[in-house]
């Protein structure tokens, strides 16, 4: 062979050899040389992977089912629908483990068990409904019952339901209606085991009462503690403390040092509404009549007749929501003991260079004598309620200045609605809110007992009432220190 041909052949051979190598490598990447038998797993008709061993996957699914059966204590756990396993021959290289495929299935579609979906419709515009899962309808019924019993003793609920409430002899209460304010629907269905499923009454009750599932908060009783002091120091009303610690029946119950009590704030998901008919005896505050006396020095006073509080028997209709009074109507009243007015002579004799007179004499009650205190000064739902809520006197009934002073606010604004602030001597300020009308304007001086407006429910008010505040050394909700207005009448 010539050298030229020989060289040419060498080239051809080298090129051909390269192509073959290239094709071999290339094809080997794409195809297995031999197809193999696998199980193709489909979920809703879509292939999610190949496995070698069908039994292995079935075992995983079985184990999962067993675990869930034990966790929820049920007979049946349903595997995700749409799982299909088919034997096939494939050239595909990738084979997953049964565990991997099981995890894909679990992620895409959870196991389900039979249960109930409870929808609690929100009564607040724009707020989401609450949906929760329960294993058994009874669990929900019992939990609701426990929530009701947190606010109304079970004996009273039973008497109401069985129509065996004891008659009111002199004073007392009759329940007229108890209901949950939200629409609740319960539907049977299949519940995803990925979601929270309530399986016992106690946990569900806790969720319904606190609005979330969290660890109970405890306080250890120390020397000198009372239920009132523990409640107040933990921003609870005494009634709220009694709701979270049902083993105590009243604020007078004894505590022992070292005892653990719950101090969690409740935030119920449902509203337990209780409507009652009540006959109560209510003290009526005496009036003070002042007479000017030119022979007495300015700023001094002389009591001619001591005042005496009277007693009224009131028949009321009271509506409460989760233990908080939201509406009071006084249906009728009778005077058991009339009050005796206090008569005071007030000096008008002025000395030269007199200075500011001290505020003397007692304070006037800001409403007419037929009233009901629907909320006291103190903590309510973790926030301080800086006033006394006085209800029952009715929409449009007169509101009086508690003492003489100067009107420093008179406006209809914000959550207080129509409100008036009066600046008194000695740094005191009184606030009158939610009024239906105001009869005084800023800068005006008012006398004690002068009508300054009418009772209403303007601003953020649940039901008609007067929100009556007392502040020291500054304006309400600004620099003033809130004080319990009851101190004025002690």
Which one, 50 or 409, has the nearer CB to Zn ion?
409
Residue with the CB atom nearest Zn ion in the bound state: 467
Which one, 361 or 459, has the nearer CB to Zn ion?
459
Name residues contacting Zn ion, limited to 380-399 (CB under 5 A): 387, 389
Q: List the alpha helices (DSSP H) in 40-196.
A: 54-72, 98-108, 137-151, 154-161
Which one, 313 or 385, has the nearer CB to Zn ion?
385
Please state the closest distance from residue 466 (CB atom) to Zn ion, in A: 8
Write b or e for each residue in 421-452: b if 16 or more Cβ atoms lie within 10 A of its Cβ, otherwise e.
bbebeeebbbbbbbbbebbbeeebebebbbeb
Tokens of 82: 């749409």
Please state the closest distance from residue 207 (CB atom) to Zn ion, in A: 29
Which one, 237 or 387, has the nearer CB to Zn ion?
387
Going by C-alpha positions, the residue among 303, 319, 424, 317 that lies closest to residue 363 is 424
Please state the closest distance from residue 482 (CB atom) to Zn ion, in A: 12
Q: What share of the chain is helix, strand, coil (3-state, %, to 5)?
A: 25, 40, 40
- Interhelix angle 137-151/154-161, nearest 10 degrees: 110
Please state the closest distance from residue 428 (CB atom) to Zn ion, in A: 19
The contact mask relative to Zn ion for 342-381 (x = CB under 5 A, - = no) is ----------------------------------------
Please state the closest distance from residue 413 (CB atom) to Zn ion, in A: 16
Which one, 274 or 387, has the nearer CB to Zn ion?
387
Please state the closest distance from residue 415 (CB atom) to Zn ion, in A: 10
Alpha-carbon span 261 to 230, nearest angstrom: 9
Going by C-alpha positions, the residue among 76, 72, 192, 186 that lies closest to residue 137 is 186
Identify the helix (H) or strand (E) that includes residue 406: strand 405-413
Which one, 312 or 389, has the nearer CB to Zn ion?
389
**Ramachandran region, residue 10 (left: φ > 0; alpha: ψ -120 to 50; beta: rest):** alpha
Please state the closest distance from residue 227 (CB atom) to Zn ion, in A: 23
Which one, 319 or 467, has the nearer CB to Zn ion?
467
Name residues contacting Zn ion, limited to 441-480 (CB under 5 A): 467
Q: How many CA atoms lie within 13 A of 449 on its CB side?
A: 11
User: Residues 227, 253: contact at Cβ < 8 Å?
Assistant: yes
Number of chain positions touching Zn ion (CB under 5 A)? 3
**β-strand 451-454 against 398-400: which pairing, if any?**
antiparallel
Angle made by CA atoms 459, 325, 185, in degrees to the nearest 5:
95
Which one, 342 or 467, has the nearer CB to Zn ion?
467
Please state the closest distance from residue 217 (CB atom) to Zn ion, in A: 27
- Interface contacts to Zn ion, rule CB under 5 A: 387, 389, 467
């Amino acid at each position: 062979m010539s050298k030229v041909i020989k060289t040419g052949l060498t080239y051809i051979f080298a090129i051909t050899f390269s192509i073959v190598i290239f094709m071999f490598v290339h094809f080997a990447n794409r195809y297995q040389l031999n197809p193999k038998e696998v199980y193709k797993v489909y979920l809703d008709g879509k292939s999610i992977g190949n496995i070698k061993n069908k039994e292995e996957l079935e075992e995983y699914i079985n184990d999962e089912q067993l675990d869930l059966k034990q966790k929820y204590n049920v007979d049946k756990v349903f595997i995700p629908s749409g799982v299909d396993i088919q034997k096939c021959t494939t050239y595909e290289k990738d084979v997953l483990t049964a565990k991997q495929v099981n995890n894909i299935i679990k992620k895409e579609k959870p196991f389900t068990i039979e249960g109930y979906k409870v929808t609690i419709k929100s009564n607040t515009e724009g707020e989401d409904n609450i949906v929760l899962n329960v294993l058994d309808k009874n669990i929900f019924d019992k939990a609701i019952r426990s929530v009701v019993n947190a606010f109304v003793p079970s004996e009273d609920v039973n008497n109401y339901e069985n129509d065996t409430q004891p008659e009111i002899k002199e004073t007392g209460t009759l329940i007229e209606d108890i209901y949950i304010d939200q629409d609740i629907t319960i539907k049977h269905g299949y519940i995803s085991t990925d979601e929270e499923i309530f399986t016992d009454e106690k946990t569900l009750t806790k969720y319904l009462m606190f609005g979330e599932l969290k660890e109970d908060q405890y306080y250890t009783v120390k020397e000198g503690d009372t239920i009132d002091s523990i409640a107040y120091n933990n921003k609870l009303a005494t009634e709220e403390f009694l709701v979270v610690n049902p083993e105590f029946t009243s604020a007078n119950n004894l505590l022992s040092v070292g005892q653990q009590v719950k101090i969690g704030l409740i935030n119920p998901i449902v509203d337990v509404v209780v409507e009652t008919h009540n006959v109560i005896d209510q003290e009526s505050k005496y009036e003070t009549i002042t007479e000017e006396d030119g022979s007495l020095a300015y700023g001094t006073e002389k009591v001619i007749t001591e005042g005496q509080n009277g007693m009224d028997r009131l028949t009321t209709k009271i509506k409460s929501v989760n233990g908080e009074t939201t509406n009071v109507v006084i249906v009728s009243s009778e005077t058991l003991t009339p009050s005796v007015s206090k008569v005071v002579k007030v000096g008008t004799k002025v000395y030269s260079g007199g200075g500011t007179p001290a505020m003397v004499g007692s304070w006037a009650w800001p409403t007419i004598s037929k009233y009901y205190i629907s909320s006291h000064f103190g903590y309510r739902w973790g926030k301080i309620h800086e006033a006394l809520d006085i209800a029952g006197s009715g929409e449009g009934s007169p509101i009086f200045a508690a003492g003489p002073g100067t009107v420093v606010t008179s406006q209809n604004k914000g959550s207080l609605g129509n409100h008036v602030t009066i600046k008194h001597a000695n740094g005191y300020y009184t606030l009158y809110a939610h009024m239906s009308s105001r009869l005084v304007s800023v800068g005006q001086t008012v006398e004690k007992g002068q009508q300054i407006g009418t009772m209403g429910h303007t601003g953020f008010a649940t039901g008609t009432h007067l929100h009556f505040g007392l502040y020291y050394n500054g304006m309400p909700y600004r620099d003033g220190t809130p004080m319990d207005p009851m101190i004025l009448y002690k």
